[in-house]
Structure formats: C-alpha cells, structure tokens
Chain A
Amino acid sequence: MAEITLQDIIKPENLVYKKTDLMTDKPLSYCPGCGHGTAHRITMEVIEELNLAEDTIGVAPVGCSVLAYEFMNVDMTQAAHGRAPAVATGIKRVWPNKVVFTYQGDGDLAAIGTSETIHACNRGENIVIIFINNGIYGMTGGQMAPTTLPGMKSSTSPYGRDVAMMGNPLKMTELVAQLPGTYFVTRQAVHTPAAVRKAKKAIKKAFENQRDCKPGLSFIEIVSNCNSGWKMTPTDANKWMEENMFPFYPMGDIKVDGQLVK
C-alpha cells in the first residue's frame, strides 16, 4: 500500500462534510458545547437539502437564540418574547406558499408564549416549530424554567425545584400532541452523532409536511444541554441530560401524520 499524506486526503474532491452555506460565517454566540448551534445547523441543512432557502422565513425568539437571525442565512424576523408562533401565523397567512418556522427556547415557548404556542398548534397553522428544551433560562443566567426538573437546581431554585412551592415542569410536547391541529410531534436530541441524524430526519419530515401542505403544524422538541446554567462541562452536561432529562422527557415520535403513536 502506497503511503498517503494528509495533503492527498484534504482535497475538494474528497470532501464529505462541511458546514452549510445557509449558516453564516459569524461565530455563534452560544457557550462552548451548547446544542443550539447543532440544532441551528441541521435545520439549515434540511432547508438546503429540500431546496427551500428562497422561500423560507424564520422567526427568532427571545432567549439565548435571540440572535438566531445572525447565524441562519435566510430571511428572518425577530419576535417579542413568546410571540413567535403568532408572528409566524401572521407571515404564513399572508404568504401561504412560503415556508415559515419558529425557533424557540423553553422560557419563550413554554412560559410566556404558552398561549401563542397552544393556539397556533390548535389552529393547525401550517408552520414548523422547533423547540429547544434545556430545562433552564440560559440567557438571563440560569433561572428556573417551566421545564426545570423536580429537584433540579437553578439560580431561582437554588435548593432544587420544590414542586409543592414552584409547581411542576410542563411537558409542552405531550400537551400539543393532544391538539387536533398538530400533524407531527416529536422529541429529539442533538448530543451524539446518532441523535443528530435522527433529529435531522425529524426536522426534514417537518419541513416536508409544510412544503406538501399537510394539514397541521409540525412540532419538534429538542432536549438540549445548558452546561453553563447547569454548571457542568459540556460532556458531563450531555451525560447528565441522558441520565436525568431523558427519563422525564422521553425521546421519540408522539404524533405522526396526525395520529398519536405514543
């Protein structure tokens, strides 16, 4: 066997993976190891693969991903806190042939924007909602979120979430799956290569549903980490997520093609 050098391998014709051009070159504002970047990238990869970029309008939330429009290289609108599903409704209703998605965190979608989320789902708006659940308010510095686990520590539940006093975590995804207006509801993760591949498949299905005018909203929860908020290294955070978040927020499809599967 002839020796092969790195120079021989690193050639354009041997390229197998590079960041999509639908992600800008701006360095991401997220903490090291944060799942937001991966979720952004696979969303944009799907839009590229489905050749939808020219017809896509995204809606960014308030939260860590408030600047999503700096990184996603498509037309974007930044919405007020929690209002992204209403903003997306407005866009989709006046541009029914465009592809409209929101990208929201758990504070945005599951606390202040609960009403907008549930009603957009219940009306069956033909949009995609990508919901990043990391169990905490990341941007404001690690406060308790509606999705914070029982007993989980945050800066506003420093001794752990006391359910009797602070209430229960909200499983938005199970909740919206019950509404007749949702067509596809799934929960995914992006912390391992296998998880990313699955999540991307789900996102692709969601955008295909919209493109093909399937009746209803496609809702994708991505359970993610917040190593800064959880005060762990990125790899420890991913491990902790598997051990603690996944049992409470189980992975997999909940509703497919308008039918509950779980």
Chain B
Amino acid sequence: MGELKLMKGNEALAEAAIRAGADAYFGYPITPQSEVIEYLMAEKPHERTGMVVLQAESEIAAINMVYGAAGAGKKVMTSSSSPGISLKQEGISYIAGAELPCLYVNVVRGGPGLGTIQPSQADYFQSTKGGGHGDYRQIVLAPASVQEMSDFVKEGFDLAFKYRIPVLILSDGVIGQMMEKVELFDPIPRWTDEEAIANSPWATTGKKNGTERRIITSLDLDSHKMEEHNIKLQEKYKEITKNEVRYELIDCDDAEYIFVAYGSSARIAQKAVQLARAKGIKAGLFRLITLFPFPTVKMREMCGKGIKGFLAVEMSAGQMVEDVMLAVRGCAKVEHFGRYGGIVHTPEEVLAALEQKIIGG
C-alpha cells in the first residue's frame, strides 16, 4: 500500500507530478489552481528529483515552454484554470499538430470571460471538441476524487507518450480544492537523458553526426502533405477511441434511468442515485472517466436494455448532453440538468430534475 495522506486535489496532483518522474512544470498562477505551483515550489522538486519548476510570465509562455521541452523529449506539464486555458489554446493546437506528448490540467471555473472563481464544468466543448484551431483531439481524463487527481497524472503521462498527444486532466474547482484521503503511488525515477533520447527518437536533442536532424513543426505548406498529416492524426484518434475509453457504471445493472456525469457532478449524481433508489426509482450512474474518447458504443448498447431515459448532469448550460444524444441517437429520452456560473447543484435538485424531465416529462 502506498503512502496515505490527507490532501487537497491540487496538492495531490502536484505531488503526483513529482512522483510520476516529471521533468518540468511550467505554470502561471490562477484561482482555483494556484496550489499546484505553490506546492511544487515548496516541495523543492529540483532537490527531490531534479524536476524543473518555473513560474512563467503568462499562460501563453508556460504552454510554449511545454511545447519546447516536450519537443525535446522530456516529460512536461502545465496547469491552469479556464481563462488561462483559453490563453494556452494556440500552444495546445501546435502541440497537437506537432504530435508532442504533454500533460496539462484545467481546474475549471465559471465563465464566460473572467467569470467567477467558483467551480464549473463549462469547458467541456473546449476540452473535447478542440479548443484551439484545426482538426485535432486530445485525450481528456476527468477525475472525480483527490485520488484520481493523483492517479491520472501518471496515467496521463503514459497515454501522452503512448500516442504522442496532449492529455488534459479536466478537473473543476470542487475537486481541486477539496481535501480527501489519497494513497500516493510510489515515486517513479525521472528518465535519464539517455532514456529520454531512447524513448523519443523523434525529439530535438541534438543531431548526432551521420544522423538525420529532427524537426518539430506543425507547418507544411504543401497541402497534399498537410492532408496526409491530418489523415494520420485522425487515424490516431480512431485508435485512441478504440482502445482508451474509460468509464464507471454504478447501479446500472437493473437501472431504468441513468445519470450521465463526470467529475464533481458524478459525486453528486451518485448521491442522487441513492435518493432515487430510496424512493423506489431504479436509477444508476454512468460516470465518464474519459471525455474524449467518449463511451459512445457502451451508451448506445445500454439503450436497448430497458433504459427509459438519460439525464446528463453537468455544471454547464448543456454541453456533454450533446455527446449523450449523439450516442443514444433517439432510442431513449435524453435531458440535461445543471447549475452553472459557479453554482454547484445538490443531489436533491438532480433527483427532482430526473423526476420532472425524464420520468414525469
């Protein structure tokens, strides 16, 4: 059993970065995720593991530092919250285009604009449908506990290097700020320079005599080659969709009604399942762990098995619900419920929405 600690989600994530053998973190403070860089600075990872931690002059600079270091074959990450993530989108598009592995974290707050510092899940579209320009996708992991804030760092880096893709941990202000018991995984040593070079032969680490030089770019002015590159990216996304869908089904075996939720909304919806069952309503929870790839096949499959309706529960005006509709394709009722702008819904509100919109509607 690993070391047990009581930690904030943001702190667990930062500790996990050190333990996952990250080579560098580049960030810029923003509420509600500033604890990530504060924790890292206090922990002196440069002494613990040799990990670099640098406070950049902006979110834009931070993601471009990630781009440079990721292109040089190192394990790097950044974190921010919604407005800061918007600033990073150009860099993320470049990272996706140049097929670089990296991890970044969005501890989502309410928007649009400067919005609020309170929790939200309104960045679903930005996270799963692109965010920056161009036809690209990224793997999106949605932690629902402090434990997952830690675990997904390790998993995120593994996926990033497996597919040479940016991986996003899409958290929210609740998960980032709450304290919970967490079992920390045992530290993984950082790669040596030789290991980094061997793991990423494509990276810019200095052209050795007699070898071809490495170029990190997302540019190709030859449209035919650019299309080929795009096709290759799409093939990769298909592969990811085939292999990497992750979800958790809670009380779904005999369920007639399904809450679909992720992150902190999933915790609330789980309580709503219990409240519903106490009233004799057969409810279950489909908790999304990967938002991209989305568990379309599984959701579609469930449709035909006595499910009468799906309620998409999310702290937004209705974003994930569109993917639920696309999965279900009209074979069951799909509705949305969620508070937004920084308000967190209660289990009672969620149950009431099920009764009104799905059962009674």
Contacts and interface: CB of A to CB of B under 8 A. Distances in A.
B69 A94 contact: yes
Nearest to B91: A80
Contacts of A75: 204-207, 213-215
A55 interface: yes
9 contacts: A59-B68, A74-B213, A76-B217, A80-B91, A91-B204, A93-B24, A94-B24, A94-B72, A116-B64
Nearest to B217: A78
Contacts of B72: 57, 77, 90-91, 94-95, 98
Interface on chain B toward A: helix, strand, loop, or mixed SS?
Answer: mixed
Contacts of B126: none
Interface string B201-228: 0001111110001111111000000000
A83 B74 CA distance: 19
Given A78-B219, A91-B204, A115 B61 contact: yes
B237 interface: no
Contacts of B215: 69, 75-78
A103 to B, nearest CB: 14
A49 to B, nearest CB: 16
A144 to B, nearest CB: 23
A87 interface: yes
Given A69-B217, A76-B215, A87-B67, A94 B207 contact: no
Contacts of A53: 206-207, 209
Interface residues of A, number: 32
A56 B23 CA distance: 20
B245 to A, nearest CB: 31
B61 A83 contact: yes
Interface of B: 23-24, 26, 52, 54, 56-58, 60-62, 64-72, 74, 76, 90-91, 94, 98, 193, 204-209, 213-219
Nearest to A95: B72
B64 A93 contact: no
Given A76-B204, A89-B68, A94-B69, A83 B60 contact: yes
B68 A77 contact: yes
**Most-contacted residue by chain A among B52, B67, B209 (CB, 10 A):** B67
A130 interface: no
A53 B209 CA distance: 8
A72 B281 CA distance: 68
A95 B61 contact: no
A93 B216 CA distance: 18
